[in-house]
Amino acid sequence: MPAKEIFANCDDAVADIFDGAVIMIGGFGSFGGLPINLIVALARQGAKNLTVIANQGGVGFELSKRIKPGGYQDIGALYEKGQVKKFIGSVPALGGMPPSSPIETLHREGKVEIEMVPQGTLAERIRAGAGGLGGFYTPTGVGTPVEIGKEKKVINGREYILELPLTADFALIKAHKADTAGNLVYRGTARCFNPVMAMAATTTIVEVDEIVPAGALDPEQVVTPHLFVSRIVEVKK
């Protein structure tokens, strides 16, 4: 079993992300499971015209100060640097809390496109991409703006819309531990979108709290097998 490429820092791990890339970013929102160190490294790296696929679009540093003393970084860092052209996800921003998040401001200015996807549909579209499927029919979104431009079909007397798979050039994900072979375990609910995104990208880059020798992880606890992991960075808490 070959060892995965282990990087000394996040900057080196994201150095080859190119302009126009499609990036999946794991995590549920602005806290657990978010690969924040990889996100900040990508913001420093500066790749432009990115399409970001994530559950939430982030709140940005200024708005985060209203949520947590001192503030924190999240996906909003990429919008603050003007790196994103399109967001595909369920929750672009947490509205109603001034100041506006970066994605809200840019969308109003016509600088960022937003594709809203119901949360369960988002997970399933990513899973379909990971499995090489051509898409799936779902009743979620029928009769709402979600169905605009999509194929519809009646199955057993009920209307469904066709949702297409999502894949990415890179996935940035967060796990608790990795072994040197690339097997991953997660902590609690922090796994959320991370495992399925790891399977749907050409190159999966993971930041972990700890790297352990191959064989040190209980195989019954491994969620993401090494086959879906390309690069690992250890970021100590």
Per-residue pLDDT of the chain (237 residues; tens, 9 = 90+): 456 799 999 999 999 999 999 999 999 876 779 999 999 999 999 999 999 999 998 888 777 777 788 877 889 899 999 999 999 999 887 655 556 788 888 998 999 999 999 999 999 999 999 999 999 999 999 999 999 999 999 999 999 999 999 999 999 999 999 999 999 999 988 889 999 999 999 999 999 999 999 999 999 999 999 999 999 999 987
Residue 50 has what pLDDT? 98
Residue 93 has what pLDDT? 73
Residue 95 has what pLDDT? 55
Q: Is 147 exposed, middle or buried (CB count within 10 Å of its CB: 0-12, 13-18, 19+)?
A: middle
Residue 70 has what pLDDT? 80
Q: Where are the alpha helices (H) located in 69-160, listed in sequence order?
A: 76-80, 102-108, 119-131
Residue 71 has what pLDDT? 78
Residue 96 has what pLDDT? 55
pTM of the model: 0.93
Give me the DSSP letters along 8-24: SSHHHHTTTPPTT-EEE
Residue 189 has what pLDDT? 87
Q: What is the distance between the alpha carbons of residues 192 and 229, in angstroms, rounded to a whole number?
A: 17
* Those residues with Cβ within 8 angstroms of residue 143's Cβ, 6 or more apart along the chain or in another chain: 159
Residue 60 main-chain phi, psi, to 5 deg: 85, 160
Residue 235 has what pLDDT? 95
Q: Which domains does the chain have, with CATH numbers?
A: 5-133+167-234 (3.40.1080.10)
CA nearest neighbour of 5 among 172, 221, 203? 203
Is residue 53 a contact partner of residue 88, using CB atoms and an 8 Å limit? yes
